[in-house]
Amino acid sequence: MHQYRRFILLLLLKSVFSFVSATTSGKFSTWMTTSIIIRSQGIASTGLGGSSELLQAGFVQKTFRRLLESGGNINDSRSQLIAEYITKSVDSIVPRVSNATEDALTYPLDRLSNGNNLIALYNETGNSSYLEAVQALRKSVDLQRRNREDGLWYYYVYPEWSYLDGMYSFAPFHLAYALNQSESDAENMVEDVLHQFSLLWDHCYNEETGLLVHGYDESLTAVWVNQNDPKKTGASPHVWGRSLGWMMMTIVDSLEFISSSLSFNSSLSSPEFPTASLEKLHGFLLHRFQSLSAAILAVADNTTGGWFQVVEEPYREGNYIESSASAMFVYSLLKGVRLGFLADSDGPEGRVYIAAAQKAYRYILATFVVRNETDGTLGYNGTVSVCSLNSTASFEYYVNQPISYNSVLGSAAFILASLEYETLN
Ligand SMILES: *[C@@H]1O[C@H](CO)[C@@H](O)[C@H](O)[C@H]1NC(C)=O
Ligand SMILES: *[C@@H]1O[C@H](CO)[C@@H](O)[C@H](O)[C@H]1NC(C)=O
Ligand SMILES: *[C@@H]1O[C@H](CO)[C@@H](O)[C@H](O)[C@H]1NC(C)=O
Ligand SMILES: *[C@@H]1O[C@H](CO)[C@@H](O)[C@H](O)[C@H]1NC(C)=O
Ligand SMILES: *[C@@H]1O[C@H](CO)[C@@H](O)[C@H](O)[C@H]1NC(C)=O
Ligand SMILES: *[C@@H]1O[C@H](CO)[C@@H](O)[C@H](O)[C@H]1NC(C)=O
Ligand SMILES: *[C@@H]1O[C@H](CO)[C@@H](O)[C@H](O)[C@H]1NC(C)=O
Ligand SMILES: *[C@@H]1O[C@H](CO)[C@@H](O)[C@H](O)[C@H]1NC(C)=O
Ligand SMILES: *[C@@H]1O[C@H](CO)[C@@H](O)[C@H](O)[C@H]1NC(C)=O
Ligand SMILES: *[C@@H]1O[C@H](CO)[C@@H](O)[C@H](O)[C@H]1NC(C)=O
């Protein structure tokens, strides 16, 4: 095995079984984690998850692994419990995703969110069922339909539509898988990740707001496409909070992964490493992460600090602060500053981002986090249910979708936000 492959696996596995000394209180992050476990969420096939079950499982696995890696205030027995829960979640999706043809026909790109923990668990256990599932997911990317610019459709049943959402699942999986391949394959896969990001910018970026709308229709036939747009982008009309939240998280997570990979390369100088394509992707994402962050900061609610369901029309009647997107932005901004992608944390700009994220976090804590006096768990409120482009995609559509209590798409995002917030103190 090539040395850099080994390193990438180490990155994925980093400290699941090492318990770094406690530096933070870890209180809300671990409390919400335990609560999700008590509610048996993020396990597919329980029937609890509905249409986003695979995404819920993948998001819970990724969040829990990040908690273990953060080395917060968790003791050995609790770490063990969380590691076992990740395995339980992964085991629950293996029978669902191990046929590549069915993957591509049945599930949106969200299914790929399970790929990173499958890779890590395969490495830890050598269990061939995990490898088969990883390979099926990888093959399913080749079977995924694409538009004429090679943009991945988000979902087989929605011809020609590409969404921001799928990138949270696609990019980290494709990158991790790529770096375990031989040079030319690795390079092609990294280039493909860059191409998908780049197409979303070409079609969904709005110059007035500096933000990205929910998705686009390459065929320009959806009811919501603005036929008078001279650029014929096929863009949907609004910036949906959670889809931009997925986008911010995948960018900051990808930047972290690429930076660690590149700094390793510099000590190794493996000729096979796809350095040039990784550096290109890093440059592309870094620049856009910075400009998106500034635009997001500008539309935070001036009273609560939170972010609205329809992000670009903050004070319009009917709009409201949405709890999953707000937590995703808190996580992304704090992590961006911590890792130096956004601004120096000691400089004035860094302090502005930190203060904005802290304000939003405190509002989230006071408003959406529910302490259950009966069983001692934490609940999470105010998370919008699914918002689809198979709709009018109008302002009224987005603000009238039902609100869920205890959706893991919100509570897991809250764990990520808490981990960053707790690191500050
Ligand atoms: C897991 O990764 C380690 C470190 O790179 C490697 O030595 C080991 O062979 C891998 N195990 C499997 C099953 O791939
Ligand atoms: C570890 O944490 C769990 C959960 O908080 C607690 O129940 C348990 O007593 C702790 N164990 C030790 C050895 O501190
Ligand atoms: C290997 O993984 C499969 C699929 O999750 C699981 O059913 C099986 O129990 C695992 N085998 C071992 C030996 O852990
Ligand atoms: C995978 O699913 C396809 C479509 O349902 C089916 O035709 C094929 O036989 C399946 N492959 C395996 C190995 O089960
Ligand atoms: C990574 O590459 C090695 C060597 O080619 C291979 O044995 C292993 O199965 C790959 N791991 C994954 C998760 O694809
Ligand atoms: C990575 O390795 C290649 C080949 O040795 C080298 O050309 C390149 O400069 C290295 N990249 C970094 C960031 O060190
Ligand atoms: C917040 O912004 C709204 C809309 O621009 C404005 O009407 C309101 O006065 C502002 N409130 C504060 C506290 O700045
Ligand atoms: C609180 O916990 C009890 C017992 O698990 C449960 O029945 C109830 O629905 C929970 N309430 C809230 C608001 O989470
Ligand atoms: C969740 O928020 C809604 C709207 O504010 C409220 O009616 C409901 O009681 C809240 N649920 C819980 C469990 O706090
Ligand atoms: C799209 O929306 C229409 C109208 O609500 C519905 O009948 C149809 O089943 C939806 N398509 C999919 C694939 O969900």
Relative to the alpha carbon of 379, which ligand is closest? 8
Q: Does the Cβ of 275 fall within 6 Å of ligand 6? A: yes
Q: What is the largest CA-CA distance in the chain?
A: 60
Residue appearing with tokens 């696995």: 61
List all residues whose CB is within 6 A of at least one atom of ligand 9.
370, 379, 381-382, 405
The CA 95 to ligand 4 mean position distance, Å, reads 13
Task: List 152's β-bridge partners, or say none.
Answer: 146
Q: Residue whose CA is closest, atom 14 of ligand 10?
A: 390
What's the confidence (pLDDT) of residue 138?
Answer: 98
Residue appearing with tokens 């000590």: 267
Q: Does the Cβ of 225 fall within 6 Å of ligand 3? A: no
266: pLDDT confidence band, cut at 50, 70 and 90?
Answer: low
- Which pLDDT tens digit goes with each residue over 376-389? 999 999 999 999 99
Q: Does the Cβ of 374 fall within 6 Å of ligand 8? A: yes
Q: Which residues contact 227 (CB under 8 A, 6 or more apart)?
A: 220
The CA 126 to ligand 3 mean position distance, Å, reads 10
High-pLDDT (> 70) share of the chain, %: 90
- Which pLDDT tens digit goes with each residue over 46-64? 555 667 999 999 999 999 9
The CA 424 to ligand 7 mean position distance, Å, reads 29
Specify burial of residue 118 (Cβ count, 10 A radius: 0-12, 13-18, 19+): buried
